[in-house]
Structure 1
Amino acid sequence: MDTKTKQDWMSIRRSSTTGALATAYAERLTGFTVASRVGKFITLQDGGTFTEFVSCSYLGLETHPKLISAARQAMETFGLHLSSSRSAMRPIYLPQLEELLGQIYEGSGVAVFTSTSSVHLGVLPLLGSGSLTGYPVTKQIHWMMDKTAHASMQVLRGILEQFGSVSRVEASNPDSLTSALKVCTDKGETPVLLIDGIGSMSGLVPIAELSRQVASARGYLYVDDAHGISITGRHGAGYAFSAVDHLLPVNVILAGSLSKAFGGAGGFVVVSNPKDIDVIRTLANPLIFGHSIMLPMLAANVAAAKIHLSEEIDLLQQRLWKNVSLIDSLTVNQLLNAGIQSPVRGAFFETEEAGVQAARILHDHKLLLFPVFYPIIAQGKAMLRFAISADHSDTDIKLLGAALQAINSEGLWTPSL
């Protein structure tokens, strides 16, 4: 009898990937090597100065004088690194950062990791094993992975299956989610829905409503809000936390990033019961066996957190949304994500060839962006991703609008209203 071997996900990806990304690399339309930077103007190693719409630093805090000064002082005091797991030795900036984040996420518990991916790797096994007292698990776990959840969660499927079954759902489809939750209830399982708050390529997720839906099935909601942190909410708490009125529901866990709009580096987790932080610090693999964030960046994180707790964060948010509104106006709300509170905009193309040609036109206009293909989006399609920042000037945004009009006039992009 013939047996069919199930193909692994990487082999599927490899066999389905075309040469579009390789073409973009070869023509220097992506994979840019940056020699220097002044604000949003970057000079590439192979020549030319461009305005970039690539960086996910949506507030421009990574060049803030207070962050740079803090990083420099840390290097002069400690050197570059204190190479040790936090359970053995930790720099003074780590407890300072967690205390400041505790003020931003008042009433919740916060622990800092080296990345958002490390948060997933450390916290999800604790949740699945019933180790977090604030999130009791008395029945078999069933992980419901949203189809648009970040790859850093999707890739953990093999690990998650050690604690329960994994299925993919479409959280944006109420009927799909209701059906999946009913299956869990009928089987006597504890559902855990894994989602992004703001997708790096898609729109917003209704956090409060999903929390209520999952709670009705006695389940939990795990939100990766990496792209939502800092850009909105009181003290820059982010999209997901503000969506639940700055009070984390008892069935929600929030994973955030310090490496995007926050201005520094690393990740963190927010849990509803502060007592669970001791469990996370004691048992989460990345915290036991991994090192702390590099010292200069950890000190910069502290400086960034202090800015978040000041009025300056409100001004930066206002500048960001002013720029986002301007690009939406110039493109008559024809970009992906238009009209929603996300700093990410995109132009979608029916073919990879059209996307590559559009990237060439933008390059000729001295604009850099992120061209994406499968597996980030559907096979055979292309998208040009634009990250809008508070650091962009009106002139920068208008240049982008004009370049998009040029792409439209070439017949490469026919946006739908």
Structure 2
Amino acid sequence: MAVTRNRFTNYRSMIQKSEADWQTSYAKHLSGLQVRAIARNLLQDQHGRTLQHFCTTSYLGLDYHPDILQGAIKELENSRTLRIANSRNRCQLQVLDQYEAELSELFGCASLATLSCSAASSGVLPLVAAGIFTDGISPHMVFDKFAHYSLNHIKAACADETEVQTLPHNDMDQL
């Protein structure tokens, strides 16, 4: 029986096709930037350039909110660490549990805090695909062709659990 490969990903091909462009972007200082925040959505890179940050995922600007920054500083001082360096299902900082409980109460649902969209997608979407939250019934998962990377990178893992389909961008008729 022949194994069908690369239905959802093809890293080798993707890397081969994009490598020259990545090298050009690094050479022209468009990638690999090391930045510091100098104001809300304003960065300065290692080349001394000031950059307006248009691709932030801090949609509400909370990354720069003074009360949140002060609360984070206070908790770092209380915890005396950035994190516990092991899997959080074995051990986590008490403040993370408190934070998730307060978010859950605020939004009236179970809330999880993750470091990024990719981390959340990687952790949750395969469970959705496996039917863990729907009494073992796996859903048919549909992704927009231009879905964010945080969704696209996990499609192969989801496809191992359920039917996964990628539709043309915004094609509501096909959906």
- TM-score band, normalised by shorter chain: 0.7 to 0.9
2:28 paired residue number: 27
8 Å Cα contact 1:128-1:141 kept in structure 2: yes
8 Å Cα contact 1:128-1:137 kept in structure 2: no
Match of 1:96 among 95, 98, 112: 98
AA matched with 1:149: A
SS of the aligned residue for 1:109 comes to: coil
8 Å Cα contact 2:131-2:139 kept in structure 1: no
> For each residue in 1:270-310, what CA deviation from the matched residue of structure 2 results, as whole angstroms up to 9, or x when unmatched?
xxxxxxxxxxxxxxxxxxxxxxxxxxxxxxxxxxxxxxxxx
Structure with max Cα Rg: 1
**Pairing 1:17-416 to 2, within 5 Å after superposition:** 17=18, 19-35=20-36, 37-48=38-49, 50-56=50-56, 57-80=58-81, 81-106=83-108, 108-132=109-133, 135-138=134-137, 141-170=139-168, 172-177=170-175
AA matched with 2:27: A
Closer, same or farther: CA 126–77 of 1 in aligned 2, 3 Å: same
Aligned equivalents of 2:149 and 2:41: distance in 1? 28
Alpha-carbon offset, residue 163 of structure 1:
1.7
Alpha-carbon offset, residue 51 of structure 1:
4.3
Alpha-carbon offset, residue 168 of structure 1:
1.4
Alpha-carbon offset, residue 166 of structure 1:
2.2
8 Å Cα contact 2:45-2:51 kept in structure 1: no
AA matched with 1:101: L
8 Å Cα contact 2:125-2:154 kept in structure 1: no
Alpha-carbon offset, residue 101 of structure 1:
1.6
Aligned equivalents of 1:86 and 1:29: distance in 2? 35
Greater percentage in strand: 1
Closer, same or farther: CA 71–52 of 1 in aligned 2, 3 Å: same
AA matched with 2:162: G
AA matched with 1:53: H
Aligned equivalents of 1:42 and 1:111: distance in 2? 29
Q: How large is the RMSD of aligned CA atoms in angstroms? A: 3.0
> For each residue in 1:250-283, what CA deviation from the matched residue of structure 2 results, as whole angstroms up to 9, or x when unmatched?
xxxxxxxxxxxxxxxxxxxxxxxxxxxxxxxxxx
RCO higher in structure (CA 8 A, sep ≥6): 1
Closer, same or farther: CA 147–65 of 1 in aligned 2, 3 Å: same
8 Å Cα contact 2:43-2:53 kept in structure 1: no
SS of the aligned residue for 1:19 comes to: helix
Aligned equivalents of 1:39 and 1:112: distance in 2? 23
SS of the aligned residue for 2:67 comes to: helix
Aligned equivalents of 1:136 and 1:171: distance in 2? 31
> For each residue in 1:123-173, what CA deviation from the matched residue of structure 2 results, as whole angstroms up to 9, or x when unmatched?
2333233322xx2344x6433222122223222233223222322123622
Aligned equivalents of 1:129 and 1:22: distance in 2? 38
Aligned equivalents of 2:19 and 2:123: distance in 1? 34
1:216 paired residue number: none
8 Å Cα contact 1:141-1:163 kept in structure 2: no
Aligned equivalents of 1:88 and 1:79: distance in 2? 19
Closer, same or farther: CA 154–91 of 1 in aligned 2, 3 Å: same
SS of the aligned residue for 1:164 comes to: coil
SS of the aligned residue for 2:122 comes to: helix
How many residues of Structure 1 are paired with residues of Structure 2 in the alignment? 169
AA matched with 1:52: Q
Alpha-carbon offset, residue 74 of structure 1:
2.0
Aligned equivalents of 1:149 and 1:87: distance in 2? 29
Closer, same or farther: CA 68–27 of 1 in aligned 2, 3 Å: same
TM-score (normalizing by structure 1) = 0.35
Aligned equivalents of 1:155 and 1:32: distance in 2? 23
Aligned equivalents of 1:151 and 1:74: distance in 2? 31
AA matched with 1:145: F
8 Å Cα contact 1:102-1:109 kept in structure 2: yes
AA matched with 2:135: P
8 Å Cα contact 2:42-2:53 kept in structure 1: no
Aligned equivalents of 1:116 and 1:43: distance in 2? 24
Aligned residues: percent identity?
A: 24
Q: Which runs of 5+ in 1 are unaligned?
A: 178-417
